[in-house]
Structure 1
Amino acid sequence: MAQDNDKARENWARYLYGKDRGHTQFMEHANRCEGMYLGGGEQWSAVDRAVLQDQGRPCYEFNEVQPSINSAVGYQIHNRMDIVYKPRGGQADLDKATILTKLVKQVTDSTNLHWMETQVFSDGLIAQRGYFDLRMDFESNILGEVAIDTLDPLDVIPDPDAKSYDPDDWGDVLVTRWLTLDEIEQRYGKAARTEAESSNDDGPDFGDFDDEAERSKFGMFSQASLYDAYRTDEQGFKRYRVIERQQFVYELTPCLVHPSTGDVLVEATMAEDSKTDALAKGAVRAKRMRKRIRWVVSTWCRTLHDDYSPYDHFTTVPYFAYFRRGKTRGMVDSAIGPQEVLNKAVSQFIHILNSSANGGWMVEEGSLSNMETEELESVGAQTGLVIEYKKESKPPTKIGPNQVPTGIDRIIDRADKALKDVTVPDAMRGSQGPEISGIAIQSKQFASQQQLAVPLDNLAYTRHLLATRITKLIQRYYDSYRIFRITEMDPLSGKPTDEVLEINKFDPATGDYINDVTVGTYDVVISEQPMQVTFENSQFQQVMEMRNAGVRLPDATVIRYSNLADKPEILKAMQSSQAPVDPTLQAKADLMAAQAIKAKADARLSDNRAIGTNVETQYSAVQTAQIIEMTPGTATTADGLLGSAGYVDHDAAPIVPAASGMPATAVPATGGAAAMAEPVLPPGAAQNTNPVLPANPGVGLMAGIKTPGPDGLQL
């Protein structure tokens, strides 16, 4: 028991250390930023408001912070997070990655992550810091389900000495809450309830009277005496300050090591069946130095829980809009100064205008006959006032209004401009004149998003941290057979489709598990779905431009990218009944098909002509060679004729060489009457006697080349 009390005192000392190292100042500033965003009288400090009220001056608020923050939050609302997994190593493959992607999508939908993210993103922009809380919930499912919640930034104390965005680089993190006994029992068990109840550490408030800033809640700041009147055990109004600390420790830890993959798993965080399965597959027990999380929960003097965390990471996942080495800022921080200048300048301007309506009167003593001077002072600003003064007296003279100091209106304009410069410009709010087209407004909105580049990039980092931790929880705790029902939109029909997804199903035939999501390592890819209206408008415009340019896109594609509310029904009707074909479109298609056929025929004809020319050339060369072989003397004569005609030889001279092995005038030994006889021509073939053109196998092209003798040999 004494050791438990030492843990509680250690937790309390760490809590005080975090408060003194800047958390108290952070809470005060966060509440100031909250008031600047909400307005409703909270933009003025209590001191300034009291001074103005004593002077009878107004305290006007022209809240320009809220629309600026709402525009930035609106961008996040219309850009949903999409988590996709890619296989990286181990037994991971594309099929398992696809199943894991669908499973994580189902988890994020069931936990309302998008709305949780909006709350965290708003906390980061307004109060500098926002926090997710990620853990397993066994309340509604004995096997456990991933649970995502948000934390009040004023309740979270990060490691004061850390300077990293990633909580894995922090030494510890504290979360302080005010819980009832029932809430303590629900979170930490009946033994913790008994311990807290016997400690008498209950407090009268939520920290409102404990040198802390007031927490945001439905109730207003209350008096302790009124609270004590209703604080009874039966009504459950007793609350205890519970400090939950998660701390990294580095110590020798029993582990299971897989020889094949090299994976090291902490044995204490594994289920019994998982350990049995790992040992059956060859894993061996070993002790290794490991970084683990020690989880201690306590009140001021009693320890409610002290054990190792079942998770590899802190349950707290942060979001910081602007982060510089441990220093955090929000979007409201830079808007406080311009907003205060705007409120004071407008209040001063209105005060001057109000004072000018009754500047006073200059009255001669005893000159009024229908009223006293004091009465004129009270009713002198009324409409239709009648003043009667004595004869021979000077008439009352109204004092002129005070002049508005030069430059006060310009201060208002500059303060308004500075507010938009440090938050978001008018273009992102969509507040443009009617003379500007919608496309131009969307273009300016896209350009103005650069103002949100840093907060959105940090949001992407937070999304990556959260997705990585969700993956580890799924691979560790979703290790049994489960059935999920996945509902998706069919990209073709636009209708919702249901899919039954089974994971970790044992196959007796192979001895393996089907759709085993517990094995393998995956890369997490975080993407955003663009703003729906802008995205669909741009897609539809591109489809119409492509269609106007001649790209034959189907009608179903045009409908699919439109903004029609009932486009799934339209697509279904188009699929069930074919619309009549436009005759002009059909004629155009037939014409294009005929032109294509004609082009192919022309190409084949051109190829045939080229082949015929090549055949003619080769045939003429063969005939020339036969003449030279039978009458070698013609080579010298032919060479001279070609040379005088200007023919240029592309080989070595002479142009027409003599027959090899015999003089130009020799006659072959096998010659004679038989060799010099008229060649036998094919039936119907005409002998070519044209001295200019060589012999042409005109008949041979059509009926086959059959040439017993040289066609060009003239006897």
Structure 2
Amino acid sequence: MADVLNDDGLAKGAPVPQKFKEWFINDRSHLEEWREEAREDYEFVAGRQFSDEEMKALKKKKRPVVVFNRIQPVIDSIHGNEIGNRRETRYIPREMGDVKPNELLTGAGEWFRDKAHAESNESDAFWDTIVCGIGCTESRIDYESSQEGTPEICRVDPMEMYWDYDAKQRNLADARRVWRVRRIPISEALNMFPGYSRAEIDAQWTTADDLKSAQYDPEQNAGDDKASDGMVTLVQCQWIERESYYIAEDPLTGQQSEFTTGEYATVNKRLKKIAGMEMQGVRLRRKVRKQAFLGEVVLATGPAPCPHEFSFQFMTGKRDRNKNTWYGIVRSMKDPQRWANKWLSQMMHIMNSNSKGGLLAEKGAFANQRQAEESWSDPSAITWMEDGAITANKVKEKAPAQFPVGFQQLTEFAISSIRDTSGVSVEMLGLREAGQAASLEMSRKQAGMTILQPFFDSLKYYRELQGSVMLYYIQHDLSDGRLIKIVGEEGARYVPLMRQATEDYDIIVDDAPTSPNQKEAAWVVMMQLLPAFAKLIPPQMLITMLEYSPLPSTIVEKLKQQAQQMAEQQAQAAQQQQQIAEAKEGADIDKTKSEAEKNRASIEIDAQELSLKKAEATIGVLQGLMPIQ
């Protein structure tokens, strides 16, 4: 029996509402042409560059099927450039005070990405972007591998994804809904949604041409649960709805509070009944993200994992404005690659079907025909001929194959156009053989990267959006006191992950110091500046500079630990010296005080003795003046 219907018309166990089927059919129809082109893009990168019909035609004519795959090295070059220049996400709290990254949340983000193997999965999604124009990942918390929850950032096959046909912004930031439609084993689907039959889980309406053929008939599908193997279609949908809410003064607390539409009506009804008055609130609207798993019936429904962004995050390539779809680098390279293959095949066919040496000879031209056949191709042998055969032109060489005029130039043009249409220079591919200066080659590499910046800009924007999803998971799902490793000014240490009081953060995407290319470039610059500023740089800064060195991370960590120990020992020695100096200074002061007191006592004794002598003298004088009795 179906549960009570929600506001969006979904009820667990009830047939999928027509509204959702209509959404999906419209989105799928919009993407049909893109999906065909994307499949062809993947085929070209994999080296399968002839269609089945073309291969049959070539084989029927006994022509060679030649493919020199020049697209894949271009794709690998761009992909490798992304791997060598990865970035990191930092969180800066939006509050009064210094603009410094939150050390705990930034470290938690690095821990989240490390646990989820995010760098590898995002690089795979970026590879999809440069091939077909769309890359996708899903960020979620996996509770199957651990009851505490394990971070997951997984690359999702773009061919499993559908999205709002009206989305136009980069990375599909304005999409109102996204879909993931995948084929999974029946046993896995039944474990995910126990209590449902195979017919109820299998979303067959995703292949329907229209809404009428997408209708679900429970009686027709009843008992269709015999198969224990095979695959079923499962749909995961996330969409945006807008709900109303009110901001009003709470009659109990006297503070501004938020009320849902139902709460606002209930409170006003009670206030009017008790006090004869109502709250005066302001009606507002906001976006709410929801999620559902759909088969032929609704399997599960509820709020989306993250209320701020979809858990599915996209990277987009170049936008086709007229068709409102996205495409990658391969689209422009397919025609040159296709013609290069055909012309090479044609060239080999001409060579194979025409003569490659040989003779035209009359029967009486040679003295010994068998000996002539054996010795003609041997440059050191003598082929005997009948007298007068040479002068009579009884032997004539077969004419070599003649290629059409300009055929070779066209082939070379097609091959060079594969690289030219992509915008990837020879320097970026590492194939430049001319002895040019390293500075010139580096400047040409940077100029070539300018053409590819839209792809890398989409990757940066993706990290900002995905960083918002990751921050929500960290704050609400993972802040349970678990220990995580963070690296701050005090070095690496384990701290408990607790929820932060501040909710609003600025998400900054910066070059990661662990990126190989970034480390190499930074280290070269620092080595050039170090001799001039060596005396001005404090030792602590020199320790920080080790992070950008090309040395292995284990050696850098040991050097930093040793430098920190030496700094601590120097600090302790300085503290001990200060204590000794203070003690010595105290002893000198005490000695000075005792000597002063001794001098004062000596002066007082001298004064007393002088007073005594003056008194004795006075007595003597007085005795001399007094008459004798």
TM-score clears 0.5: yes
Q: Which moved more, 1:395-404 or 1:29-38?
A: 395-404
Encode CA deviations 1:438-496: one digit per residue, 9 max, x unaligned. Answer: 44433332232112111111111111111122222333334x531323154889xxxxx
How far apart are 1:297 and its partner, in Å? 2.3
How far apart are 1:238 and its partner, in Å? 2.5
Q: 1:239 aligns with which of 227, 231, 244?
A: 231
Contact kept? 1:7, 1:296, Cα under 8 Å: no
The change in CA–CA distance for 1:537 and 1:200 in structure 2 (over 3 A counts) is closer
Q: 2:346 aligns with which of 322, 344, 348?
A: 348
Amino acid at match of 1:498: A
Counterpart in the other structure of 2:243: 251
* Corresponding residue SS for 1:482: coil
* Corresponding residue SS for 1:7: coil
Q: 1:335 aligns with which of 333, 336, 355?
A: 333
Counterpart in the other structure of 1:526: 509
How far apart are 1:121 and its partner, in Å? 0.3
The change in CA–CA distance for 1:101 and 1:47 in structure 2 (over 3 A counts) is same
Encode CA deviations 1:336-392: one digit per residue, 9 max, x unaligned. Answer: 0111122222223333344455366545489789789xxx9xx99987899998888
Inter-partner Cα distance in structure 2 for 1:386 and 1:265: 108
Q: How many residues were matched structurally? A: 508
1:159 aligns with 2:191: no
* Corresponding residue SS for 2:326: strand
Counterpart in the other structure of 1:17: 26
Counterpart in the other structure of 1:563: 550
Counterpart in the other structure of 1:607: none
Inter-partner Cα distance in structure 2 for 1:430 and 1:382: 43
Inter-partner Cα distance in structure 1 for 2:362 and 2:91: 91
Counterpart in the other structure of 1:7: 16
* Corresponding residue SS for 2:348: helix
Counterpart in the other structure of 1:57: 63
Matches within 5 A, 1:462-473: 462-473=462-473
Q: Which moved more, 1:463-472 or 1:160-169?
A: 160-169
Encode CA deviations 1:580-635: one digit per residue, 9 max, x unaligned. Answer: xxxxxxxxxxxxxxxxxxxxxxxxxxxxxxxxxxxxxxxxxxxxxxxxxxxxxxxx
1:416 aligns with 2:408: no
- Note the residue ranges of structure 2 that are not aligned, 5 or more in a row: 3-10, 210-224, 263-280, 568-629
Amino acid at match of 1:44: F
* Corresponding residue SS for 1:24: helix
* Corresponding residue SS for 1:240: strand
CA-atom RMSD in angstroms: 4.4
Counterpart in the other structure of 2:497: 503
Q: Identify which of structures 1 and 2 has the higher relative contact order when contacts are C-alpha pairs closer than 8 Å and 6+ apart.
A: 2
Encode CA deviations 1:73-102: one digit per residue, 9 max, x unaligned. Answer: 11110122211122224x998688222111
Contact kept? 1:355, 1:401, Cα under 8 Å: no
Matches within 5 A, 1:443-522: 443-478=443-478, 480-488=479-487, 497-504=491-498, 516-517=499-500, 519-522=502-505
How far apart are 1:178 and its partner, in Å? 1.0
Matches within 5 A, 1:103-252: 103-165=108-170, 167=172, 169-187=174-192, 189-191=193-195, 194-195=196-197, 197=198, 199=200, 201=202, 237-252=229-244
Contact kept? 2:91, 2:508, Cα under 8 Å: yes
Larger Rg: 1
Inter-partner Cα distance in structure 1 for 2:101 and 2:564: 33
How far apart are 1:245 and its partner, in Å? 2.1
Q: Which moved more, 1:140-149 or 1:30-39?
A: 140-149
Amino acid at match of 1:433: E
How far apart are 1:138 and its partner, in Å? 2.4
Encode CA deviations 1:31-58: one digit per residue, 9 max, x unaligned. Answer: 111111111xx01122222222222222
* Corresponding residue SS for 1:109: helix
Matches within 5 A, 1:246-325: 246-252=238-244, 289-299=285-295, 301-312=296-307, 313-324=309-320
Amino acid at match of 1:340: R
How far apart are 1:526 and its partner, in Å? 0.8
Q: Which moved more, 1:480-489 or 1:150-159?
A: 480-489
Contact kept? 1:474, 1:518, Cα under 8 Å: no
The change in CA–CA distance for 1:459 and 1:539 in structure 2 (over 3 A counts) is closer
The change in CA–CA distance for 1:353 and 1:257 in structure 2 (over 3 A counts) is farther
* Corresponding residue SS for 2:119: helix
How far apart are 1:166 and its partner, in Å? 5.3
What TM-score results when the alignment is normalised by the length of structure 1?
A: 0.61
Contact kept? 1:484, 1:502, Cα under 8 Å: yes
The change in CA–CA distance for 1:524 and 1:380 in structure 2 (over 3 A counts) is farther
Encode CA deviations 1:622-680: one digit per residue, 9 max, x unaligned. Answer: xxxxxxxxxxxxxxxxxxxxxxxxxxxxxxxxxxxxxxxxxxxxxxxxxxxxxxxxxxx
The change in CA–CA distance for 1:175 and 1:86 in structure 2 (over 3 A counts) is same
- Note the residue ranges of structure 1 that are not aligned, 5 or more in a row: 212-230, 269-284, 492-496, 505-515, 579-715
Give identity over the alignment, percent: 21
* Corresponding residue SS for 1:74: helix
Amino acid at match of 1:503: L
